[in-house]
Structure 1
């Protein structure tokens, strides 16, 4: 039986950042007591779907009714609205757990049934999210305690939303930390901010991340473009233009929540295999901009591989993403994509990698390769990576390379000392604006003609030619100082590793 009791209507105090941080800590402490919660990979999704429902109630449903009292139709109907069950202090224990498991989650998962509506309808988003949601809490009493804590978080003002988004980003960072243990790596914010900024986005353009994870690129694109919005029509245009694909349910939930908190009421996210989605896309689904950090080093299922032309079939995920993106871009479209050094290297004249790089340089102007400093994705992987910027405007003539150095005195990054966005400042100054005017060869920048790359079997793993010159002109004292700095940095990293190992005990 669904709950029918009178609900409490108690508002929490103003949600300051410190108060939100305290509430989130209380929520996680509560979940730690429950036997069904096994680490953050269980606790964070549990908290996220509850936060999603609370945010959706206040950010979408209540605002919609306020703006259109007569004509607004709620996506979630009685008795499944947050205010119908979550604010009822008497609904607890096994009764609450049964309601959530047997009625609420199945209802939300089935919201897309017999639906004849557009992709922007929020019921589609809710349904996709809750098809994979499981209430992992075994204690209905602890679940009641957790819901009561979430009830104290409010999203009714822009300040509240901004504050919650800030705190939620800390949850996402910890989610990334937990996911790193299971082999999933997310793009550091300075990297996606740099990629978005140097893509020079314009209002009205469609922006796709086909491996959107928790939505970092899409949120950054939204933040970049929202200042250009002047009308409600432009606002709707911006929301509709941000598109993501994610095949795993947990990142999909987190991305939906992330975009919702940043003001995108009905995120245009699809939960499916992006490679198949892009292969099956219609001409009308092509996009202006792709911003992505696709998975690399993995292997795809044979059914996915067989969806590609015979000459381009490979199980290497990064190659399949790059090939698909080339087809997904409109003529004149552009892309910024993270790829590992191994994808840039020459690997045999008739290899799939060479064929795809040949297609890239034939169809597109690969104008810039930014070589990222060692350890940007630390501590999860030490694989050296690069950002490729290209436009679908015709064949490549020259490729500019820019090497972003580590900060002075550093030999890598850690969880506690990650990369900062300011480290891209010199590269941004060198870039030359949207038209890339006035670029010059320098200590960190060099240009390679396309003919040379083609003649070397499309090898793009081209080292900075100025590094040798730098070493040749250094004094013995400078070299010794460098060795001392290196040893000090290594000792610091080892100490941090030791502390981390002790904390895991």
Structure 2
């Protein structure tokens, strides 16, 4: 039926997911109008800090309402007029140059008054817990310590703020959907970061490592190079499922999850991700995790579980290198983190670690060999899972490995498991990525280990080669699968030649038999 003149066309009703997706897209579109934000990576920090402050205010509104109902006092982390509701929630509020000055300047005229006080970012950076513990004020201060407002136009920033204000973090449905949008933001930032050598761990790999390491409630979990917090959020979810009492929940909230991240944007994303998942005051160290001397690490610094993907190929300054033994100093950040991880595990079998390392760590000699020998001789390196090409696409095609060790050492046997590619793939890609379900065979094998076409074991100490003076010269963990179909290619040359001669002789014998048969009269 034709529409009657003068009537409006009925618009389709948007789902919550579509509405939130539309808000984020509109916010990005507005930020493109700001001449100071030239690339997506430059625009994302602005979107992240705006969302972060809106989320915090909504979260504190809920907690304030609960405190009123329970009759308990409530002290907000952010005071007036710096709360979102005071300066951002009014669509016709502070804007233009006044908004930029309020956000950026050390001193500015405060919204809704003629008084002068610290600017927004200056105030947020000054927040500290007056007591002995760590609370949300410390989280906020650390999150904003290196973040800067990159928006130059206060009018554009006001438009973005008005859009984000339409997201309601008080709604459980919107929280779940925002979590998925948050993951989209993470992927985009990871893609951009990969161009500068930062590789983020795919969620299926994170989930697998947490699953087999199996942190238990009451244990401490650390990721010393947590990036955007993938290992920590997965570990938090894993531990949350074990909570049964109020005391359990308190243990989870205050004494379970710890991280470290030196870069400001991933730090803020890690904090926001953990807050979204329900951790009230994430304890993430904003300083370099390698800044302490190994000899200064004591029992109070040790944890039960370490889950991490340390930076590949990074380089550290000389002051950091001095924290390590002279014969184990190097520029490769992965090797420095590996030493620190070993020292930060609780002793006597109470500590265990799962670490992502590149192939170069497995076959490297020199300092790498000495570190691996230390790992084998003083820790129990029990498993190496070898991943195929493309797991870390689009950042790199270099195959990575997952190494698992604990403090029940020294190492006896090292089990190797070669994760296969799907039959129809030559490698994983960004669009055809690894799925968690593909780890099912490895998970089944993990509890009941036996040699298969994918799994084999070697004696750890046999891999350490020393010179006449007893110094470690080699420790090669880059081992080929002896049970694979192409294992013949890796046999010693003499054995391979003998096998070929035998094979050729057998072919000649068969041909001779066929010729003799053909020569016989019919």
Q: TM-score, normalised by structure 2?
A: 0.83
Offset of residue 156 of structure 1? 1.0
CA distance in 2, matches of 1:394, 1:126: 41
Summarize the Cα distance change of 1:408–1:468 in structure 2 as closer, same or farther, 3 Å threshold. closer
Paired residue for 1:444?
Answer: 454
Summarize the Cα distance change of 1:25–1:306 in structure 2 as closer, same or farther, 3 Å threshold. same
Range 247-256 or range 395-404, more displaced = 247-256
**Contact persistence 2:415–2:455 (CA under 8 A):** yes
**From 76, 79, 85, the counterpart of 2:78:** 76
Aligned residues: 449
**Contact persistence 2:293–2:323 (CA under 8 A):** no
Q: Deviations over 1:137-186 (max 9, x none)?
A: 11111111100111011111333322211210111011101111222111
Paired residue for 2:99?
Answer: 96
Summarize the Cα distance change of 1:152–1:425 in structure 2 as closer, same or farther, 3 Å threshold. same
**Contact persistence 1:379–1:413 (CA under 8 A):** no
**From 448, 455, 458, the counterpart of 2:475:** 458
Offset of residue 57 of structure 1? 0.9
Paired residue for 1:229?
Answer: 243
**Structure 2: any 5+ residue segments left out of the alignment?**
1-12, 106-118, 467-473, 490-522
CA distance in 2, matches of 1:134, 1:276: 25
CA distance in 1, matches of 2:293, 2:219: 18
**Contact persistence 2:37–2:43 (CA under 8 A):** yes
Q: Secondary structure at the match of 2:351?
A: strand
1:50 paired to 2:50: yes
CA distance in 2, matches of 1:383, 1:469: 21
CA distance in 1, matches of 2:238, 2:14: 28
CA distance in 1, matches of 2:172, 2:298: 37
Superposition misfits of 4+ residues, deviation over 3 angstroms: 277-282, 468-472
Q: Deviations over 1:234-277 (max 9, x none)?
A: 22311331111011111111111111111112111011101114
Summarize the Cα distance change of 1:145–1:380 in structure 2 as closer, same or farther, 3 Å threshold. same
**From 321, 330, 336, the counterpart of 2:354:** 336
- Within a 5 Å distance, the mapping from 1:247-326 to structure 2 comes to 247-277=262-292, 279=294, 280-326=296-342
CA distance in 1, matches of 2:391, 2:189: 18
**Contact persistence 1:15–1:160 (CA under 8 A):** no
Summarize the Cα distance change of 1:237–1:143 in structure 2 as closer, same or farther, 3 Å threshold. same
- Within a 5 Å distance, the mapping from 1:374-453 to structure 2 comes to 374-432=389-447, 438-453=448-463
Q: Secondary structure at the match of 1:21?
A: helix
**Structure 1: any 5+ residue segments left out of the alignment?**
1-12, 433-437, 473-505
Q: Secondary structure at the match of 1:228?
A: coil
1:165 paired to 2:189: no
Q: Deviations over 1:56-94 (max 9, x none)?
A: 1112x1232122235111110000001000112222222
CA distance in 2, matches of 1:66, 1:15: 28
Q: Deviations over 1:312-364 (max 9, x none)?
A: 222211111111111100012000001111111151xxx22122111111221
- Within a 5 Å distance, the mapping from 1:135-174 to structure 2 comes to 135-174=149-188
CA distance in 1, matches of 2:132, 2:25: 38
Summarize the Cα distance change of 1:317–1:470 in structure 2 as closer, same or farther, 3 Å threshold. closer
**Contact persistence 2:377–2:461 (CA under 8 A):** no
**Contact persistence 1:162–1:262 (CA under 8 A):** no
Offset of residue 33 of structure 1? 1.3
Summarize the Cα distance change of 1:302–1:376 in structure 2 as closer, same or farther, 3 Å threshold. same
CA distance in 2, matches of 1:44, 1:346: 38
CA distance in 1, matches of 2:89, 2:331: 50
**Contact persistence 2:359–2:400 (CA under 8 A):** yes
**Contact persistence 1:161–1:261 (CA under 8 A):** yes
CA distance in 1, matches of 2:246, 2:389: 44
**Contact persistence 1:402–1:446 (CA under 8 A):** yes
CA distance in 2, matches of 1:373, 1:53: 41
Summarize the Cα distance change of 1:92–1:469 in structure 2 as closer, same or farther, 3 Å threshold. closer
Q: TM-score, normalised by structure 1?
A: 0.85
